[in-house]
Amino acid sequence: MATRQKVLVTGASGLIGGLVIKNLGEKYEFTALNRRPLEDIASTQADISNFESIQMAFTDIDTVLHLGALATPGLTNNWDGIVSTNIHGTFNVYEASRIAGVKRIIFASSGGTIQGYEKDPEYKNLVAGDYENLPKNWPMIDHTSPLRPGSLYGVSKIFGEALGRYYSDVHGISILNLRLGAVIDTDRPKVPRQYPVYLSHSDCLQLIDLCLSAPDSFRYEIFEAVSDNKFRWRDNSYTKDVLGWKPTADSYKYLFKR
């Protein structure tokens, strides 16, 4: 029997971490690094902003799925908290990975890196849910588009992507950045802004599974991660082409069931 890949999940008590551990646990050997205690999984309880307290969690790990971040609604411009967790914490995760010889880091980036486009005329009606006044078509934003963070949280995710580039180029770690859309506890959009950027649970799980099993030749990538929503403005075609991702969800089916 083949040895399962050893994957450390930071922020494992969050929605995505819970989904991954529950649904992919038979395929991968997961351990967790989390601020809160967890049951039914080997874990290290520590804050990623404290390097010494987290370092041992990376021993003998093949891949790190870095989900840990400060992303609480209402705190996305809390700079002190963002610096502690999303800047210092992310650096600590990358540096601990380097020291331990981790081969790959999958970084939970965000659409917050390009959220500033939502204010442009081409997209503002999509974001507002004003579907009667949409342009005939609109330019799609992808991983090559200029960065436009919509909050300090988005700024911190840009830092994470740039830090990953450094660790890939200088230290040879495979870095896969996922610009995750709206993954929602109820698995359906709740407000108009979420319809274009909705990412279903199943599509999210499929994508993370593909990243965990991607060839070693993948050195540094940025993947837009939204489902095949009718009114999406973020282009997920590169993600499909490179990873073979096949999203099946479309938020449109929920539009008239609110």
Is 212 domain-assigned? Answer: yes
Residues 153-175, mean pLDDT to the nearest whole number: 98
Is 94 domain-assigned? Answer: yes
The per-residue pLDDT for range 201-242, each reduced to its tens digit, is: 999 999 999 999 999 999 999 999 999 999 999 999 999 999
- Domain total in the chain: 1
Per-residue model confidence (pLDDT) at position 77: 72
Per-residue model confidence (pLDDT) at position 39: 86
Say how far apart CA 107 and CA 141 lie, in whole Å: 20
CATH of residue 183? 3.40.50.720
Say how far apart CA 84 and CA 155 lie, in whole Å: 14
> Which residues span the domain enclosing 199?
6-254
Residues 137-154, mean pLDDT to the nearest whole number: 96
Is 1 domain-assigned? Answer: no
What percent of the chain lies above the pLDDT cut of 70? Answer: 97
Is 82 domain-assigned? Answer: yes
Say how far apart CA 206 and CA 239 lie, in whole Å: 12
Say how far apart CA 54 and CA 11 lie, in whole Å: 12
Is 244 domain-assigned? Answer: yes
Per-residue model confidence (pLDDT) at position 148: 98
Per-residue model confidence (pLDDT) at position 72: 67
Q: Fill in the amino acid letter for 188.
A: R
Say how far apart CA 117 and CA 148 lie, in whole Å: 7
Q: Which of 156, 181, 163 is nearest to 81 (CA)?
A: 156
Is 114 domain-assigned? Answer: yes
